[in-house]
């Protein structure tokens, strides 16, 4: 075992997120001589309430971006180590819009490594087991530190890229670094977009949970406190340049976990809805943490998954004021993602004429913009019917008008139908499309088109999802 490293002043990036904030709590509770500077951009997934109440002489919050080199030049000097948790981490979001994942996970890691190189501080890189791809459901094998990388989503590929940067900078510049790849975490302060807290909060709200595919996908669950203790052991005792896998032998498939949640909350274990699987959904993750346990003597403390899950449920029941503000925006993003996937499938059948710019956009492009608007601005979704929409339930209704002659041949739609017109808050350009459920100039089905219209036509801070003929987009 290497000589023990005893930091006194550390930076924790993403320390207002789920896993990062739990690590901050762990350090404060177990290592009283350590001061923590939390560097967090406070995106939708970062919540300063996660570290509220911690002693101000022990924990300092710096709101900022890990990609800001000048900011790093100001705060890194004087610290002993950086523990890098900050990341875009939600797979569904990465599928809908990969760009933020490239910036935060790849460029952000690069900026931190350059600061580490400049100021000579110790660096620990927190990563994921998803970089290894997935395992067959009937394969007894587990991931080890020697497993080849085979990421399968925009999220996991950007995390794999960041891991490779750490290894390259370590070898090239001699940095003092370690990497950990952990399995799926659960516990308090997890954002309600994630699998376990989303199911819990939906049940609290009386909403039937939804399960991807057949529910056979297996995840290796670990309590976030065990993850925190493992990261501390690696930071202080790990060998430089080494990678350690963190897991607690907690393999469970998704349908088992959902049924456990339902039963623990007094519901029928079959009281959920099946939904179509997401693209590229990994089948199974499983961690072999032998190296970590053998070299550093680490052991998980939370080995009773049912007990840990019940404690997690109790935490969300008792802390509704913490998760409630994020719940509506989260469900808005999920509904917008559904529209992205549904309308994206219509792309071969038509395009969208965005006048003023001369650009023709596909339905997938428009749907992506709608998702970005919801994701970026924290917009909320209000389900309304078409009749309620025209009655003003979703905000001001743009009057029906004719196509201007500049955008079509003639002053009216060639079919003689009246059409809707609005300025899209996503693109800032004029959108023209048909109100009636019929195909015009190769555009997609009118029902999907109208649902999309009702989304982009509302005020910038309100996105509406329309229920048409019993179909919820």
Residue 127 β-bridge partners: 181
Coil, helix or strand at residue 316 = helix
304 noted as active-site residue: no
In the set 65, 97, 130, 134, the catalytic residue is 130
Q: Which residues contact 450 (CB under 8 A, 6 or more apart)?
A: 386, 435, 437, 466, 468
DSSP per-residue letters across 106-155: IIHHHHHHHHHHHHT-EEEEEEEGGGG----TT----B-TTSPP---SHH
CA dist 443 → 126, 216, 363 (Å): 46, 38, 9
Query: Token pair for residue 310?
Result: 């019940």
Nearest to 137 by CA among 214, 215, 211, 216: 216
Q: Which residues contact 398 (CB under 8 A, 6 or more apart)?
A: 420, 421, 422, 457
114 noted as active-site residue: no
How many angstroms separate the CA atoms of 146 and 115, rounded?
Answer: 29
How many angstroms separate the CA atoms of 88 and 111, rounded?
Answer: 16
In the set 40, 129, 288, 331, the catalytic residue is 129
- Sole residue written with tokens 């909350």: 265
Cβ–Cβ under 8 Å, residues 10 and 75: no
Buried residues in 308-323 as b, exposed as e (16+ CB within 10 A):
bbeebbebbeeeeebb
How many angstroms separate the CA atoms of 422 and 405, rounded?
Answer: 16
DSSP per-residue letters across 344-374: HTTGGG-EEEEETTTEEEEHHHHHHHHHHHH
Nearest to 227 by CA among 380, 20, 30, 388: 20
In the set 123, 155, 433, 473, the catalytic residue is 155
Read off the DSSP letter of residue 50. G
- φ/ψ of residue 274, rounded to 5: -85, 140
Q: Which residues contact 7 (CB under 8 A, 6 or more apart)?
A: 34, 80, 81, 122, 235, 236
How many angstroms separate the CA atoms of 126 and 10, rounded?
Answer: 15
130 noted as active-site residue: yes
Query: Token pair for residue 296?
Result: 């550093």
Coil, helix or strand at residue 393 = coil
- Catalytic residues, by residue number, are 129-130, 155
């Amino acid at each position: 075992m290497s000589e023990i490293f005893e930091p006194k002043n550390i930076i924790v990036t993403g320390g207002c997120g789920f896993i990062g904030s739990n690590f901050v709590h762990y350090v404060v509770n177990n290592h009283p001589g350590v001061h923590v500077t939390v560097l967090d951009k406070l995106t939708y997934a970062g919540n300063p309430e996660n570290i509220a109440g911690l002693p101000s002489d022990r924990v300092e919050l710096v709101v900022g971006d890990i990609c800001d080199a000048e900011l790093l030049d100001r705060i890194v000097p004087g610290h002993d180590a950086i523990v890098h948790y900050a990341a875009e981490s939600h797979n569904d979001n990465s599928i809908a819009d990969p760009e933020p994942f490239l910036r935060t996970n790849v460029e952000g890691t690069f900026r931190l490594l350059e600061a580490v190189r400049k100021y000579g501080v110790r660096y620990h890189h927190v990563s994921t087991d998803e970089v290894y791809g997935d395992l067959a459901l009937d394969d007894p094998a587990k991931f080890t530190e020697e497993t080849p990388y085979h990421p399968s989503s925009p999220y996991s590929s950007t995390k794999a890229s960041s891991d490779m940067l750490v290894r390259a900078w370590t070898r090239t510049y001699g940095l003092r670094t370690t990497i950990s790849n952990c399995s799926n975490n659960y516990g308090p302060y997890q954002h309600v977009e994630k699998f376990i807290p989303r199911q819990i909060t939906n049940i609290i709200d009386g909403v039937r949970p939804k399960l991807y595919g057949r529910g056979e996908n297996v995840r290796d669950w670990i309590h976030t406190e065990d993850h925190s203790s493992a990261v501390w052991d690696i930071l202080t005792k790990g060998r430089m340049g080494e990678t350690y896998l963190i897991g607690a032998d907690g393999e469970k498939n998704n349908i088992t976990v959902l049924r456990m949640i339902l039963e623990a909350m007094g519901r029928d274990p079959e009281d959920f809805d099946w939904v179509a699987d997401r693209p590229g959904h990994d089948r199974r993750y499983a961690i072999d943490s032998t190296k970590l346990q053998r070299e550093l003597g680490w052991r998980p403390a939370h080995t009773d998954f049912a007990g840990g899950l019940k404690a997690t449920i109790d935490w969300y029941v008792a802390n509704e004021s913490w998760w409630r503000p994020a719940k509506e925006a989260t469900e808005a993003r999920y509904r917008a993602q559904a529209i992205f996937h549904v309308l994206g499938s219509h792309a071969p059948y038509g395009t969208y004429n965005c006048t003023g710019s001369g650009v023709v956009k596909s339905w997938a492009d428009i749907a992506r913009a709608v998702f970005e608007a919801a994701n970026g601005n924290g917009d909320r979704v209000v389900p309304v019917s078409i009749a309620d929409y025209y009655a003003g339930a979703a905000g001001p209704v743009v009057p029906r008008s004719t196509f201007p002659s500049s955008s079509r041949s003639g002053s009216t739609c060639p079919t003689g139908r009246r059409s809707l017109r609005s300025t899209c808050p996503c693109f800032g350009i004029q959108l023209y499309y048909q109100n009636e459920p019929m195909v015009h100039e190769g555009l997609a089905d009118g029902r999907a088109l109208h649902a999309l219209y009702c989304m982009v036509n509302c005020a910038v801070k309100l996105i509406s999802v329309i229920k048409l003929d019993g179909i919820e987009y």
